[in-house]
Each structure stands twice: as C-alpha cells, then as structure tokens.
Amino acid sequence: MKKRKIPEASIRRLPLYYRYLELLQADGVERVSSTALSLRTGLTASQIRQDLSYFGEFGRQGYGYDVPALKRELAEILGMRQGYHAVVVGAGRFAEALVENFPFQEYGIQLSGVYDTAPEKVGGTLGGRRVYHTDELPYRLAAHPAEIGILTAPAETAKDLANTLSDAGVKGIWNCTNADLRPHHGTPVIENVQLFDSLFSMCGRMGSREGT
Amino acid sequence: MKKRKIPEASIRRLPLYYRYLELLQADGVERVSSTALSLRTGLTASQIRQDLSYFGEFGRQGYGYDVPALKRELAEILGMRQGYHAVVVGAGRFAEALVENFPFQEYGIQLSGVYDTAPEKVGGTLGGRRVYHTDELPYRLAAHPAEIGILTAPAETAKDLANTLSDAGVKGIWNCTNADLRPHHGTPVIENVQLFDSLFSMCGRMGSREGT
DNA sequence: TAGATTGTTAATCGATTAACAATC
DNA sequence: TAGATTGTTAATCGATTAACAATC
C-alpha cells in the first residue's frame, strides 16, 4: 500500500464490498478472488483490487481474499468497530422507519437519543425510544457525546441543526432532509442523502433513452 | 447543443439544479447566471453551463437563465410533466414515510397503488391508500400501467419483484431495498438507493480524516 | 457602446482499466 | 512445479475546468 491520496469514489464503494462479503459469509464462502467479486458486483476486478489496495494489502497472491478477514478490515475502516453513537434529530415518519428498520446496532452504531420540537412528540417515544426536545441537544450531547448526527427534521431547520450538531462535536452528519448541507471548514463530514435527486435522476435517465 | 453523448453524472445533477431553481423562484428571483448558481450550489459555473448545454440552449448571453423557463425545461427533462404513474411495492415503515411525506403529486407522479403480501396489511390502507396483494400486481398493472416501480419490500424479494415490475412494463425501478439490482438488458432503468452505503461511506470518510 | 454572460472547444485532471511482475 | 491471483504501474478513458469567441 502506498500513501497516495484515497479517492472518495473508492471510499464510497467500501460499504458495497462489505455487503457482498456479508452475503458470501452467509453462504459459507471462505475466500473470494477479485474476479469472483467482480462477477457478483458488476464492477471490474481491477477496480476492486485498486480500491482495496488504497487501504491495505488484504489479499494473497494465488489465493484471493479471506472473506471474514476482509470483512473485518472493511468494518474497521468504516468505523463499525469504533462504537459510534448517533442522535436522530427529527421524529417524523422517516425517523421512525430508520429507527425501527435500520440495523444500526448490528453495525456498531448506538442510537443515543431522538429529538424533536413538536410538543406532542417530546416526552413520547419513537420506536421504543424516548423523544427529547431539540433544545436539550447541546446539553445532552455535552454529557454524552455522539459522533454521528442523523438529520430528519424539516428542510428549513437543517442548517441551524447542523450547526448545533457541529458545535456539539459531531463528526459526521447524515442529512436526510431535502436541504443540501455544505461542508464548512471540512468538518463535520456531510452526507446529503437527497432521495429527491435519486428518484428524479432515475426519471431523467428514463426519459433520455428514447433514442436508444 | 451538440448531439454528444450525455454523461450520467450530468443527468444526476439536474434534480439538484431543479431544487435550487425552486428556491430562487420562491424568493421571487427571475433570472440567474451560472456564476450565481455556482455560488449557491458549490459547483463551478463552468460545470453548470456544460451540464445544461447537453440538454439545450437555455440561457442568453449577457443575461443568464430565466428562472421559470429553465425550471420548466428541467421539469420536462426529468419527466415531471409526463404524468408518470408509480406503484409502491412493500407497505412497511419506509413506504409509509414516503407515501405520507414525499410530494410525488407535486412533481407529476401519481401513486396508483400500494402492494404488500402480509395478510394483516392487504386490504388495509397505507397513508390513506388501499393496499393490494402483490400477486395482483401483474393483473392491475395490465389494466392501469405504471412507468415507475418503487421497491420497499424485503431485500430477499427484490429481484423477483423487479422482474414482475419489468414484465409489467415499468420503465424505472427506484430500489429502496438493501439488495442491489443490476440493470439487465438496460431496461428498466434502475436506481439503487442504498441508504446503508450512504451512511457508511460517510463513516468511512469520518475515519480517513485522522491525519488531516 | 461597454459589460455581462452564454455555449463550446481545448486543456486538465482524476478515475477506471489493462497489463504484468511478484509470489503464494 | 504450474496455476492462480495479487498489488501496482502505466495507459486509457471520461469528466471537470479554463478559456474565449459570440452576442445579448
């Protein structure tokens, strides 16, 4: 492994590799070559080797990659073994869907609080978790820091909430609102989910196939 | 505009442009230059002009772009004026969040049916809409075609459901399951949402900043 | 007119792919 | 050993940026 700069595109593919390794492991497969992985994922074997090589030398010539070992390495790189804590800000339907269905715990993320401003939600529960008032965010995060902020609040409030989270020392903001957040001085890391863009970029591709 | 091939990366930015035009219009702004847009979006003015030029000549020298006109053009390209119909397959929390919160109608997408297999859901409603059994999908789509399939069912069922939708003539599949779908003979267009990848690629970027 | 700003071409940059020596 | 397969370097490809003539 050389210390060349790691392309974001490569980092973005790591969770995908992780998912396929999970599937392989579930099938009891113990080793996998870049070629075999390429068949499953649709990426090229070359790209897979290149991507992985940015992070270490995980394979063996003539053998390939050990599935559990590579999975463990990727889990490490993706912070799944750091015991991250996350707060969910905004207790609407989307938050509910996430809290109830997304296996945070399984990937080492502990949800440490759900927040909202609506009087009818504060004091209640969401997916079995107590909902606190967003005003308590700085106070509660000071006592129990979180590395990840999950934003599902209304778009208009996203920027302010992001600042609050940032001030409270959050290292990454998973922005599920339909406002874009721009990384300021580079920290925290921002991931804009933008389901709107996802859906309509598909629609755009549907339209542009007329002449194909 | 030349007939050079349109990069997918450019198509993927169109919904973002559309969103910013909406914001400008809401502020009563009537025209915008690529430079002004670049300030708002964080993209370069050059890239914005390049992207738009793949689809037409929407601007005027010395003036910029007319906000309502450009918005209308983008809506056209993104199929928002086609009156698309969409079916939602899988009536879980995520579907509920979408149906209740995502403004499909506002962007010209009419939800024409929600489907699930669970006996306790079939016959009931989701966000005010009747839930049908997934087995009825081919039959009902034959009578009332839909261009878009929204997949929120369990990952294990994704591939089969995608085939069903494909056979029923769907033109795009918005895959919100955590299985990857691979475009077969190119049709329908597939958009894999992969919230897992989104969250953990952020975590990966959080980790890789240690030495920065 | 002078200033602004487009659409496009050419230059640059970065990411993907191909090739292959190293070696298990 | 022979076959397989890595990690890496170099070549290719594609996407982004810069520059500028055209022109509103």
For residue A186, is pLDDT > 80?
no
Report the predicted TM-score, pTM, of the whole model to 2 decimal places.
0.96
Quick one: pLDDT band at residue A211, thresholds 50, 70, 90?
very low
Q: From the candidates B126, B203, B209, which should be mutated to test the interface with A, based on the most A CB atoms within 10 A?
A: B203
Query: Which candidate in A27, A199, A209 is best for mutational testing of the B interface (most B CBs within 10 A)?
Result: A199
Q: Are B207 and A11 in contact (CB under 8 A)?
A: no
Q: Are A193 and B198 in contact (CB under 8 A)?
A: yes
Nearest CA-CA partner of A32 in A16, A47, A48:
A48
Residues in A closer than 8 angstroms to B23, CB to CB, are none
pLDDT at B210 over 60: no
β-bridge mates for residue A59, sequence order: A65
pLDDT tens per residue across span B57-94: 999 999 999 999 999 999 999 999 999 999 999 999 99
Which positions on strand C lie below 7 Å from a protein C-beta? 2-9, 14-19, 22-24
Residue B178 confidence (pLDDT) above 50: yes
The Cβ of residue B30 has, within 10 Å, a number of other Cβ atoms equal to 12
Å: A30 CA to C11 C1': 48
- Provide mean pLDDT across the span B197-201: 98
Average pLDDT over residues B43-53: 98
CB–CB of B90/B122 below 8 Å?
Answer: no
Nearest partner of A104 among A83, A134, A74, judged by Cα: A83
Q: What is the chain B residue with the closest CA to A178?
A: B19
* pLDDT of res. B187: 82
Chain centroid, CA A69 distance in Å: 21
Confidence of residue B3 (pLDDT cuts 50, 70, 90): low
Distance from the A16 Cα atom to the nearest Cα atom in chain B, whole angstroms: 6
Backbone angles phi, psi at B116, to 5 degrees: -155, 170
Tokens representing residue B153 in the block: 């069912």
Q: Residue written as tokens 């070359």?
A: A46
Both structure tokens of B141: 């789509």
